[in-house]
């Protein structure tokens, strides 16, 4: 049973009308026949495509002619023209120059993929209203609605609700209901608003779709053109083994998934367990110490949230809002993920120590969006004492929260011959294993100190320096902005062992390290 709520012809007629006026996009589509046998609803997928997603993501749905462009090599190509640009004949795939020739008043903006995926994420979370299994597949939403039809009083009602919602959110979205996920997406992408519930009718529904919709790579597309195959119906008539040999087995798999001959499991997105709660004070608080009970409440709520999601917080931050509406952000860093409210409170207090404000605080909010999965480890029955490693991480946490992350660092070696660049700071507890041949000092001076020469002898702080070992020449770094050409020597005074060098460019002697 095929329920095409608009034939291909009438669909294109409607599209033409819609192009004339964007408001018409919100008109609910033609009604559908209800009463379906329950057995047919084992697999039912609803796909939504958003033809104007790049424009919507940029918040640029306007009347003036406008296109979204991407840079491809030297050229800028149009990917999404808006209605008024389409009216002047601009199509997706044109170069920007060609489009501007057609309409000199054209406004071009470049694509923002991050904004698009943000928008899709948002829409996907909203679609959770109808089903828990929502996936995002190549800028389309895919909803598994098999389990939801009964709840919403039949497929027609459900589809109507979803269409009303999506039409209010996006510009001329295309909604298609099919028994397999691949066919639902294919139909939605090609602009076919169908509602088909039986597998045996998929073939008839996708027969007319051109092969370009499924075969994207140009080489295979050319091959298909040579064979005289233009639609999926033609493609499905080909013998399987020959198609697998000539066009690759993955195309056969694609077709199988399309028709439901092969399972096609989908990964549903799970909403991120973001925590954001705030407390508003009626009177306002002037002293940060008075915040403590409220912070404790918020942290306890965070702990409950973390326990429920079986996760640990990696980082969280406090937001304080003043009467004058200026907000303060106080991040709390954790070296190791935590969820214990008592520990988090102690770390927060350290982070708050540096915070000073004269204004009255009216809001406090706790935000956590970085999480780590709860490690699953079994405990030793005999161990009762906490390991010293626990002390270590909590110490680093405390130090970093009070002094700042940049103040507490580890040391590492760098693969460079220049003494200044042979080391670096790194994340606490990490290091790189590199071996150094020649002996190096224990102290290095940040800026080399110049060594005086008096009566043919090197003098450091009133003491005569004696050179000890053979020189070590270090000439390196000509490729960047800090080239050095130096001869290094070990030297000693009566009491000190030092590392000095003579700059080969200037001839000056400098003290650089102490053994």
Partner 1 sequence: MSLESCLKRRDIWRGKKAARSEDAVATGFAVLDRHLPNGGWPQHALTEILVENITYSPLWLLIPALGEIMPARSWQIWIAPPAIPYPPGLSQNGLDLSKILMINITDQADILWSAEQALRSRACSAVLCWPGRLHQSATRRLQLAAEYGGGLGICFQDESALHTHSMAALKLRCRNTDDGLCIDLIKCRGGPLHQNLTVQHPSSQSTATLKTKEQSCQ
Q: Which of 126, 413, 504, 510 binds partner 1 (CB under 8 A)?
A: 413
For strand 509-514 and strand 497-503, is the pairing parallel, antiparallel, or unpaired? antiparallel
Give me the least distance between CB of 506 and partner 1, in Å please.
Answer: 11
Q: Which of 403, 450, 475, 482 binds partner 1 (CB under 8 A)?
A: 403
Q: Are 229 and 216 in contact (CB under 8 A)?
A: no
Q: Which of 49, 163, 394, 401 binds partner 1 (CB under 8 A)?
A: 394
Question: Should residue 450 be labelled a site residue for partner 1 when binding is judged by CB under 8 A?
Answer: no
Q: Which two tokens stand for residue 334?
A: 């954790």
Write the interaction track for partner 1 spanning residues 89-108; mark x where CB under 8 A is met and - where it is not: --------------------
Among 42-50, 102-110, 113-121, 406-414, the segment contacting partner 1 (CB under 8 A): 406-414
In the complex with partner 1, the residue whose CB is nearer, 285 or 428, is: 428
Q: Are 444 and 513 in contact (CB under 8 A)?
A: yes
Question: Should residue 429 be labelled a site residue for partner 1 when binding is judged by CB under 8 A?
Answer: yes
Question: Should residue 392 be labelled a site residue for partner 1 when binding is judged by CB under 8 A?
Answer: yes
66 - beta bridge partners? 107
Q: Which of 207, 220, 398, 485 binds partner 1 (CB under 8 A)?
A: 398
Q: Are 159 and 36 in contact (CB under 8 A)?
A: no
Q: String of b and e for 167-195 (b: at least 16 CB within 10 Å)?
A: bebbbbbbbbbbbbbbbbbbbbbbbbbbb
In the complex with partner 1, the residue whose CB is nearer, 192 or 502, is: 502
Give me the least distance between CB of 376 and partner 1, in Å please.
Answer: 24
Q: Which of 30, 326, 431, 505 binds partner 1 (CB under 8 A)?
A: 431
Question: Should residue 338 be labelled a site residue for partner 1 when binding is judged by CB under 8 A?
Answer: no
Q: Which of 309, 336, 402, 418 binds partner 1 (CB under 8 A)?
A: 402
Give me the least distance between CB of 416 and partner 1, in Å please.
Answer: 10
Question: Should residue 497 be labelled a site residue for partner 1 when binding is judged by CB under 8 A?
Answer: yes
Q: Which of 152, 281, 294, 515 binds partner 1 (CB under 8 A)?
A: 515
Give me the least distance between CB of 493 and partner 1, in Å please.
Answer: 8
In the complex with partner 1, the residue whose CB is nearer, 12 or 469, is: 469
Q: Which of 409, 475, 482, 505 binds partner 1 (CB under 8 A)?
A: 409
Question: Should residue 119 be labelled a site residue for partner 1 when binding is judged by CB under 8 A?
Answer: no
In the complex with partner 1, the residue whose CB is nearer, 16 or 442, is: 442
In the complex with partner 1, the residue whose CB is nearer, 245 or 471, is: 471
CA distances from 429 to 23, 55, 293, 300, 411 (A): 60, 47, 35, 30, 9
Give me the least distance between CB of 253 and partner 1, in Å please.
Answer: 48
Give me the least distance between CB of 505 and partner 1, in Å please.
Answer: 14
DSSP 3-state assignment of 291? helix
Question: Should residue 287 be labelled a site residue for partner 1 when binding is judged by CB under 8 A?
Answer: no
DSSP 3-state assignment of 232? helix
Separation between Cα atoms, residue 165 and residue 167, nearest integer Å: 5
Question: Should residue 128 be labelled a site residue for partner 1 when binding is judged by CB under 8 A?
Answer: no
**Which element (helix H / strand E) includes 369?**
strand 361-373
Rounded to the nearest 5°, which phi and psi values hold at 11?
-60, -45
In the complex with partner 1, the residue whose CB is nearer, 267 or 406, is: 406
Q: Are 334 and 347 in contact (CB under 8 A)?
A: yes
Separation between Cα atoms, residue 98 and residue 89, nearest integer Å: 10
Q: Are 236 and 242 in contact (CB under 8 A)?
A: no
- If you write DSSP's letter for every residue of 445-485 in order, what string do you get? EEEEEE-EEETTEEEETTEEEEE-S--EEEEE-TTSS--EE
Q: Are 366 and 275 in contact (CB under 8 A)?
A: yes
Give me the least distance between CB of 336 and partner 1, in Å please.
Answer: 12
Q: Which of 7, 74, 388, 481 binds partner 1 (CB under 8 A)?
A: 388
Q: Which two tokens stand for residue 6?
A: 């608009």
CA distances from 456 to 452, 459, 460 (A): 10, 9, 13
Write the interaction track for partner 1 spanning residues 343-382; mark x where CB under 8 A is met and - where it is not: ----------------------------------------
Q: Are 164 and 28 in contact (CB under 8 A)?
A: yes
- Provide CB contacts within 8 A for 26, sequence distance 6+: 167, 168
Question: Should residue 448 be labelled a site residue for partner 1 when binding is judged by CB under 8 A?
Answer: no
For strand 66-72 and strand 107-110, is the pairing parallel, antiparallel, or unpaired? parallel
**Total binding residues for partner 1 by CB under 8 A?**
57
Question: Should residue 233 be labelled a site residue for partner 1 when binding is judged by CB under 8 A?
Answer: no
Residues engaged in binding partner 1 (CB under 8 A): 388-389, 391-392, 394-396, 398-399, 402-403, 407-413, 419, 422-423, 425, 428-431, 436, 439-446, 453, 456-458, 461, 465-469, 490, 492, 494-497, 502, 507, 509, 513-515
């Amino acid at each position: 049973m095929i329920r095409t709520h608009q034939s291909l012809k009438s669909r294109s007629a409607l599209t033409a009308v819609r192009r004339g006026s964007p408001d018409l996009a919100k008109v609910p589509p033609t009604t559908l026949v209800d009463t379906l046998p329950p057995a047919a609803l084992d697999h039912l997928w609803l796909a939504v495509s958003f033809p104007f997603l790049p424009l919507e993501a940029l918040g640029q749905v306007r009347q003036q002619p406008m296109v979204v462009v991407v840079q491809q090599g030297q050229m800028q190509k149009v990917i999404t023209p808006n209605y008024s640009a389409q009216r002047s004949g601009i199509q997706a795939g044109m170069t920007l120059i060609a489009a501007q020739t057609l309409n000199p008043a054209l406004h071009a903006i470049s694509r923002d993929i991050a904004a698009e995926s943000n928008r899709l994420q948002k829409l996907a979370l909203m679609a959770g209203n109808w089903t828990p299994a929502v996936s995002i597949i190549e800028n389309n939403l895919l909803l598994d609605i098999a389990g939801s039809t009964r709840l919403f009083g039949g497929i027609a009602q459900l589809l109507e609700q979803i269409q009303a919602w999506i039409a209010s959110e996006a510009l001329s979205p295309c909604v298609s209901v099919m028994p397999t996920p691949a066919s639902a997406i294919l139909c939605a992408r090609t602009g076919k608003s169908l509602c088909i519930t039986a597998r045996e009718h998929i073939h008839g529904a996708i027969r007319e779709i051109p092969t370009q919709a499924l075969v994207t790579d140009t080489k295979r597309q050319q091959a298909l053109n040579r064979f005289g195959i233009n639609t999926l119906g033609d493609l499905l008539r080909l013998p399987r083994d020959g198609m697998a040999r000539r066009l690759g087995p993955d195309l056969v798999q694609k077709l199988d998934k399309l028709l439901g001959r092969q399972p096609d499991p989908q990964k549903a997105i799970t909403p991120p367990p973001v925590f954001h709660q705030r407390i508003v004070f009626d009177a306002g608080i002037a002293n940060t110490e008075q915040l403590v009970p409220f912070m404790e409440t918020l942290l306890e709520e965070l702990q409950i949230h973390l326990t429920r999601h079986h996760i640990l917080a990696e980082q969280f931050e406090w937001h304080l809002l003043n009467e004058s509406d200026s907000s303060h952000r106080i991040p709390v860093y954790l070296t190791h993920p935590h969820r214990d409210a008592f520990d988090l409170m102690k770390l927060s207090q350290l982070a708050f120590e540096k915070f000073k404000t004269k204004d009255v605080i009216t809001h406090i909010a706790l935000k956590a969006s970085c999480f780590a999965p709860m490690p699953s480890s079994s405990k030793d029955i005999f161990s009762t004492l906490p390991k010293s490693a626990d002390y270590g991480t909590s110490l680093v946490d405390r130090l970093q929260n009070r002094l700042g992350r940049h103040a507490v660092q580890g040391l590492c070696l760098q693969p460079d011959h220049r003494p200044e660049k042979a080391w670096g700071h790194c994340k606490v507890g990490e290091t790189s294993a590199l071996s150094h041949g020649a002996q190096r000092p224990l102290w290095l001076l940040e800026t080399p100190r110049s060594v005086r020469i008096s009566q043919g002898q090197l003098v450091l702080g009133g003491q005569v320096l004696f050179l000890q070992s053979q020189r070590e020449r270090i000439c390196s770094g000509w490729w960047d902005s800090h080239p050095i050409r130096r001869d290094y020597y070990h030297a000693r005074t009566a009491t000190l062992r030092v590392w000095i060098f003579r700059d080969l460019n200037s001839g000056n002697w400098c003290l650089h390290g102490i053994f």
